[in-house]
Chains A and B, each alone.
Chain A
Amino acid sequence: MSANNKAIVIPCSGIGKVFGSVGREATYIVVDELRPGTAETLCLSLLVMGDQETVERVRGVPCIAVDGCPKACAQKNIELAGGVSAASLRVVDTYKAHRELKPEGVTVLDESGRKLARFLAQEIASAVDRVVAGR
């Protein structure tokens, strides 16, 4: 079991592509609805900035990266900050399993995007459970 029974889910900021929006929406589903007691999120920008308080948070709690593109900004920035990426999920992998849900609308996700985010959120929630249980 992790030190304080929590995991931090960190989505990439994903401002330019719809998969970034899907990853962020999925993260909110997990921290607000599916695992509000064991999952939290933080601003990735604060990690980029090297904000001391945020860096200490990621070093003390296992992190789950959710990335929208192959650049893997979330995973790389967690590692650059000295944190442990206990699990790494890619939106594209969920999309490959649900190709009927082609997301659109970077500013506001469409229905397909929101459905895809629900599937991804289930995967993130499972990862949270594994990480918190120490498996």
Chain B
Amino acid sequence: MPDIPRKKVGIVSCSGEEIPEGTISRIATRLVLEKLRPEDTVTICLPLFLAGGQEERAFARFYPTIAVDGCPKLCAKHGTERYSGQVTDVIVVSELLNGQEIKPGWRRSLDGQGMRLAEKVAEAIAGRVDSILKATHKEVKPDLIPVTIQDKAPLSWPAQEHCYRCMARGLPVMRIDVGGVTVGLAGLAAILEQAYALGKKPNQVTKNQLLETVKVYNYIPAGAQAEYAEALLREYAALCRRKER
């Protein structure tokens, strides 16, 4: 049975070294990754969008992403959208904690009061994670091709490191031609194999099911969905022909 990793939500925190709200952002993000939603979330260092390669820059196109920003400059949101892809949601710590006392010393480390505020932010992030995953599942459920989902990527990396690079290593990406452009789609080979295993015919119904399933694991621009659907059906038909030779 083909396996692909469980759908997760990406969280990108601002680094915020100069302000206490930045430290709250980072610690709240870590609390979500380690304690509140460890199976549903991954992260990446924001500066890796510039210092890294294509794999890092694909982050927000692969994962629905929440930006967690310490201040209204919105570095995490704007940095992610400039170098990777559109974010799904934004949390601005200075707005969320508006009216609360923020101590300058929290820039370096949080005391009990600061940690409680970080936990409040973490709960807000976890709530957004749940909403995104719920919406994703609800959106695709009617046409989803059931693919076996693993709780963890098939890797030897330490489980506590919920960073994107760890997860990305296990992602099977298949390249196809969409409207004359070669694009890589994560999980596609497994999805096509699963559709064939379920006995699906290469027709219009299957075309829509393929598109909806691929959308769970990839960002497909709204204006290009018809082209993607045609390309997916073409690839699926080719797979069926190969199998039936």
Binding site for B on A (CB under 8 A): 10-17, 20, 24-25, 27-28, 32, 41-49, 51, 71-74, 76-77, 80, 106-108
Contacts and interface: CB of A to CB of B under 8 A. Distances in A.
Nearest to B11: A15
A46 B73 contact: yes
B14 to A, nearest CB: 5
Contacts, number: 109
B17 interface: yes
Contact of B47 (A42, A48, A106): A48
A24 B46 CA distance: 15
- How many chain B residues sit at the interface, stated as a range, is 35 or more
Interface string B157-196: 0000111110000000000000000000000000000000
Interface of B: 13-19, 22, 26-27, 29-31, 34, 43-52, 73, 75-76, 78-79, 82-83, 107-109, 161-165
A43 B47 contact: no
Contact of B27 (A13, A27, A107): A107
Given A15-B29, A73-B51, A44 B17 contact: yes
A46 B75 contact: yes
A44 B15 contact: yes
Contacts of A11: 17
Contact of A14 (B45, B49, B52, B78): B45
Contact of B79 (A10, A48, A72): A48
Contacts of B44: 15-16
List the 8 closest pairs (A to B, CB-CB), nearest first.
Answer: A13-B15, A16-B163, A45-B75, A73-B47, A107-B30, A76-B51, A73-B51, A28-B108
B104 to A, nearest CB: 11
A73 B48 contact: yes
Nearest to B163: A16
Given A16-B44, A28-B107, A43 B15 contact: yes
